[in-house]
Chain A
Amino acid sequence: MNKNYIILMGILILLAAGLLVLPLKNNSKQLDPEKLMWDIVQPTRYVSTDEVAKMIIERDPLLVLVDVRPTEDFQAFSLPTAFSFPVDSLATDDAIPALTFDKRNLVLYSNDDLKSDQAWIIAKRLGLKNIYVLKGGLNRWIQTIIQPEAPAESASEAEFNLYAFRQGASQYFTGGSISIEQGPQAEVNVSRKKKAKAAEGGC
């Protein structure tokens, strides 16, 4: 009997020692590469310029815009409410705290989707959640929101509605004047009035 005890105790101590060593192996909260790959191949991280424009105009409290371009570019031009977080800053220790917003949606943007996508992959690996990428980046922002192209005459009503929204948004973001021959102008004005009301109500 005594011998059995000693053998069993030996096994227990060995296993306990093994357990002590184990946690060192996966010591970080980083996302498993397999899961990361799965996220990478999904297009769900992309949000369109129209969606973001709408959120900015509506002052959506859940939207956090992150500019991943170099600081100089951010200073020259940035989207309203965005803050600057160059890709290189992801290498610092306080990257995660700086990008952690409880339940709010982080939308990364750069000139197009390359840098923002790269930043997204690294941020995702670091374990951040609710992060998205502005599809097409600032280049598409200019093409669709600031300088929207009129749809062809045969285009669907949805396309015309989208165009009307974009014209209104363009005016909102540039403060310029719109002068088009017919209909759309009225719609643009309507959306502006709505904005004003929303602002008043908010404050």
Chain B
Amino acid sequence: MHVHELNPKKTMVTMIIFVVVIIIGLVTLSKPRLNYAITPEETVMLVGSEEGFVYPYELEDILNKTIDTIVLVDIRNTFQFGRGHIPGAENISSVELISKENIKRLEDLKNAGQVVLLYANNLVEANGPYMLLRQIGFDNVKVLMGGYSYYKIWKDKLADSYSDDSYFMGTADYDFAEVAKSNSVATNGNSNSETKAAIVVDRKKKGKAAEGGC
């Protein structure tokens, strides 16, 4: 204490500067505008459940207004939206989806108990924004399977798409192991046995190369 008494004015000034610096630091501390509401583990579970995926045939009821708790949001850009969109959809392009105004709009919709159904040209395009909104707490957000490109083909017979499955994603179109074994570029009807023989030879070559190297 006696050190202070030696030069009270200086100490006073130092302390005031100290306080001011800390306050400035606190004020300018950048606080993220958006925060994650679910953990990465929960996101992995969300991805596994596909609970937020809406089938194209479910659009029938939405468009007939049988269900009126769903707001369709087209997240493609305004140009694409202008060239054609699902009736009743509003356009918020994905780059603007988390702007201040749109977050407010989404919050209002959530509080009003409305489900937000996102769509883009296809599922993968809309899946990213869907996952992001889910992660920052908008659990009322869903995503349309097939997207606009699928809707465009089926718009007059949406209910019939129930028995169609071409909009499903994530599935293998081939038996990869089988296809990768035989080279189908050979179009002139080489017999299978020949092709197989060729495989064996090539593998042996590869093996030799590895042996030589090491």
CA of A88 to CA of B47 in the docked complex: distance in angstroms?
Answer: 9
Does B187 touch A at the CB level, under 8 Å?
Answer: yes
Stretch of A10-18, A48-56, A100-108, A154-162 with 4 or more beta carbons under 8 angstroms from chain B: A10-18
Supposing A73-B172, A77-B176, A147-B179 touch, asked if A177 and B198 sit within 8 A by C-beta, the answer is: yes
CA of A193 to CA of B49 in the docked complex: distance in angstroms?
Answer: 48
For residue A114, which residues in chain B have a CB less than 8 angstroms away from its CB? 123-124, 127, 169-170
CA of A34 to CA of B32 in the docked complex: distance in angstroms?
Answer: 8
Query: Are the CB atoms of B97 and A37 closer together than 8 Å?
Result: yes
Query: Are the CB atoms of B15 and A12 closer together than 8 Å?
Result: yes
CA of A20 to CA of B178 in the docked complex: distance in angstroms?
Answer: 60
CA of A200 to CA of B129 in the docked complex: distance in angstroms?
Answer: 47
For residue B35, which residues in chain A have a CB less than 8 angstroms away from its CB? 33
Does B63 touch A at the CB level, under 8 Å?
Answer: no
Does B87 touch A at the CB level, under 8 Å?
Answer: no
Supposing A146-B180, A176-B186 touch, asked if A32 and B173 sit within 8 A by C-beta, the answer is: no
CA of A39 to CA of B123 in the docked complex: distance in angstroms?
Answer: 17
Within 8 A of B (CB), among A25-70: 26, 30, 32-34, 36-37, 40-41
What's the minimum C-beta distance from A5 to chain B, rounded to whole angstroms?
7
- Contact for A174 among B132, B182, B194, CB less than 8 A: B182
Supposing A12-B19, A126-B40, A146-B179 touch, asked if A4 and B12 sit within 8 A by C-beta, the answer is: yes
For residue B18, which residues in chain A have a CB less than 8 angstroms away from its CB? 12
CA of A148 to CA of B187 in the docked complex: distance in angstroms?
Answer: 12
What's the minimum C-beta distance from A191 to chain B, rounded to whole angstroms?
14
For residue B128, which residues in chain A have a CB less than 8 angstroms away from its CB? 40-41, 117, 121
Query: Are the CB atoms of B185 and A90 closer together than 8 Å?
Result: no
| Chain B 174-214 near chain A by CB (<8 Å), digits 1 or 0 | 10110111111111101000110011011100000100111
For residue B97, which residues in chain A have a CB less than 8 angstroms away from its CB? 37
Query: Are the CB atoms of B44 and A88 closer together than 8 Å?
Result: yes
| Chain B 122-147 near chain A by CB (<8 Å), digits 1 or 0 | 01100111011001100000000000
| Chain B 148-175 near chain A by CB (<8 Å), digits 1 or 0 | 0000000000000000000001111110
Q: Counting chain A CB atoms within 10 Å of each CB, which of B11, B170, B203 scores highest?
A: B170
- How many residues of A are in contact with the other chain, CB < 8 A? 63
Does B101 touch A at the CB level, under 8 Å?
Answer: no
For residue A202, which residues in chain B have a CB less than 8 angstroms away from its CB? 213
Does B3 touch A at the CB level, under 8 Å?
Answer: no
Query: Are the CB atoms of A122 and B213 closer together than 8 Å?
Result: no
Query: Are the CB atoms of A138 and B172 closer together than 8 Å?
Result: yes
A-B contact list, 14 entries, CB within 8 Å: A1-B8, A33-B34, A33-B136, A88-B48, A91-B41, A112-B170, A113-B124, A142-B174, A175-B198, A175-B201, A176-B195, A177-B186, A199-B213, A203-B214
Which A residues have a C-beta under 8 Å from some C-beta of B?
Answer: 1, 4-5, 8-9, 11-12, 15-16, 18-19, 22, 26, 30, 32-34, 36-37, 40-41, 73, 76-77, 87-88, 90-91, 110-115, 117-119, 121-122, 125-126, 138-139, 142, 146-148, 167, 170-171, 173-180, 196, 199-200, 202-203
**The 9 residue pairs across chains A and B that have the minimum distance between CB atoms:** A176-B183, A203-B213, A175-B202, A40-B128, A77-B176, A77-B177, A33-B34, A91-B44, A175-B199
